[in-house]
Structure 1
């Protein structure tokens, strides 16, 4: 489990294609400081398992399913990525419950820079639309954010200077594809209601 509070921006240092999947190596001095084989690290919001740590670089296997359902297949050497280690039971839950199980992708439709924050608008794919609510939580590339507006085919978020500086969201351009994870509680509530 994760919180959506990004610990650092990492850099992809190698991608080796293997059997429909990939072996991804990422530089991240903060997240590798105590990482070991078998640990979970979210890369742009996708929970991945560490298979090797060497100096400040960790390597993870990325299966075809993850490449197909997320934006990870579009990464290249030098790409910046958001990194977060799995939360420990004795830590504060600063964002919201994020599983690292991406529900789909969205496209950045517009970016409106402000004096103190930026307003961003994203496409809202039909399969995830029922779970997105104004003032609700959403994870975009692993970042815990609050939905500011929502309509039939798009939603908006506002980003404070800290988020713009410390995550990849400050570098995102119109047309970029991002990973989306909706609030897991909304999915469970729907399942309970539908079963009744």
Structure 2
């Protein structure tokens, strides 16, 4: 036998549970992919969350790094090369995005992929005015190959758990309000 107040209690419990689940989903950083496409990131393709490889890459001093170093942060990973004309156009907007939004929750990570001599990298960064991006290298294209990068530039959005959630092949204006909104949505608690 159940009392009437027990039925109401169960309904309230179901309601509060549903509200709690809904609130948690909203807090997880829902991304409005359609708005991103309409706002200028038309080539951005949402992907099924896929763990990124643990493949190491280097810095100019020979230090080794991996994408696992950024776990807990949202990462905008960009594969570029000194000989890539669209990379030259895109890189200043990535630099501006890092300057404005980079920090504890978010990083723009740029990796020079393939044959990029140090002198060519220095010249490229100087000519494009890059000041805020890391200098990381994938000279044998091992990480790029494992991530299915066939041309450049390619930019991959990685969630806090180390999963690829979107990819853009070609250049984009990463300093645009649309891109900043995308990053704010991806980093929302």
**TM-score for both structures, normalised by structure 1:** 0.29
Using CA pairs below 8 Å that are at least 6 residues apart, which structure has the higher relative contact order? 2
Larger Rg: 2
Greater strand proportion? 1
By percentage of residues, which structure has more helix?
2
Given the two structures, how large is their TM-score scaled by the length of structure 2? Answer: 0.30
